């Protein structure tokens, strides 16, 4: 990954090099690169005057941040109780089989990242799969291929 330090510095300047804007700066960096590259984390730490360990601590504390490259599309399968009893584990297995990756992994072409979540809070419409913020209610293993195809075109 080729990090453009000038681009990272623009995000930092946008927030006036302020420590209190660390999360906003990291959000901007992640939006640009789809993850938080090490070089960018180092530059952010230097520019806002924080130890690198503190910046990495924030980046690893929040689930919204990733230190590994993520796919263009993030597929999140709910594994909460309601989704679990309605077939969630089978749906996850089908995504794993069709994408060729496990939870927390990204396809080699960086098109998809597969994740799980303990609960999405929409138990009445489970099992639920979320792709890029779009909710797919009452998902079944038969629907997995169509979901992948729908986002694979984008």
Q: Is residue 66 part of a domain?
A: no
DSSP β-bridge partners for residue 41: none
Is there a single domain that holds both residue 35 and residue 93?
Answer: no
CA dihedral in degrees (73, 15, 18, 5; nearest 10)?
60
Indicate whether 79 and 139 sit together in one domain. Answer: yes
In a domain, 139, yes or no: yes
* CA pair distance 148, 154, nearest whole angstrom: 10
CB 126 within 8 A of CB 140: no
Examine residue 94 and state whether it is found in any structural domain, yes or no. Answer: yes
CB atoms within 10 A of CB 93: 15
Q: Let me know if 39 is exposed, middle or buried by CB neighbors in 10 A (0-12, 13-18, 19+).
A: middle
Contacts of 80 (CB under 8 A, 6+ apart): 88, 117, 118, 119, 120, 123, 126
Give pLDDT tens digits along the chain (154 positions).
578 889 999 999 999 989 999 999 999 999 999 899 999 999 999 999 999 999 999 999 998 899 998 899 999 999 999 999 999 999 999 999 999 999 999 999 999 999 999 999 999 999 999 999 999 999 999 999 999 999 988 7
C-alpha of 43 from chain center = 22
Q: Which residues contact 20 (CB under 8 A, 6 or more apart)?
A: none
Residue 67 lies in a domain: no
Give me the pLDDT at residue 66, please: 92
In a domain, 136, yes or no: yes
User: Residue 43 maps to which CATH number?
Assistant: 1.10.10
Q: What's phi and psi for 116, nearest 5 deg?
A: -125, 160
Stated pTM of the model:
0.77
Domain enclosing residue 27, as ranges: 5-61
Residues 82, 126 within the same domain: yes
The encoded tokens of residue 124 equal 């009445």
In terms of domains, do 34 and 99 share one?
no
| CATH number of domain containing 82 | 3.40.30.10
Question: What per-residue confidence (pLDDT) applies to 153?
Answer: 83
Q: Does 55 lie in the same domain as 98?
A: no
Q: How many domains does the chain have?
A: 2
What's the pLDDT score for residue 100? 98
Cα–Cα distance for residue pair 106/115, rounded to 1 Å: 9
pLDDT number for residue 17: 87
Rounded CA-CA distance 82/119 in Å is 9
> Does any domain span residue 88?
yes
């Amino acid at each position: 990954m080729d990090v453009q330090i000038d681009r990272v510095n623009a995000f930092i300047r946008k927030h006036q090099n302020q420590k209190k804007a660390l999360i906003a700066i990291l959000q901007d960096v992640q939006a640009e690169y789809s993850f938080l590259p090490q070089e960018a984390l180092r530059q952010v730490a230097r520019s806002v005057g924080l130890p690198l360990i503190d910046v990495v601590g924030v980046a690893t504390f929040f689930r919204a941040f990733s230190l590994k490259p993520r796919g263009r599309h993030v597929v999140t399968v709910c594994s909460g109780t309601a989704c679990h009893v309605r077939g969630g584990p089978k749906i996850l297995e089908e995504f794993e089989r069709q994408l060729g990756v496990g939870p927390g992994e990204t396809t080699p072409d960086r098109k998809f990242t597969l994740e799980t979540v303990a609960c999405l809070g929409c138990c009445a419409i489970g099992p639920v799969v979320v792709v890029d913020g779009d909710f797919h209610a009452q998902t079944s293993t038969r629907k997995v291929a169509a979901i992948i195809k729908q986002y694979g075109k984008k």
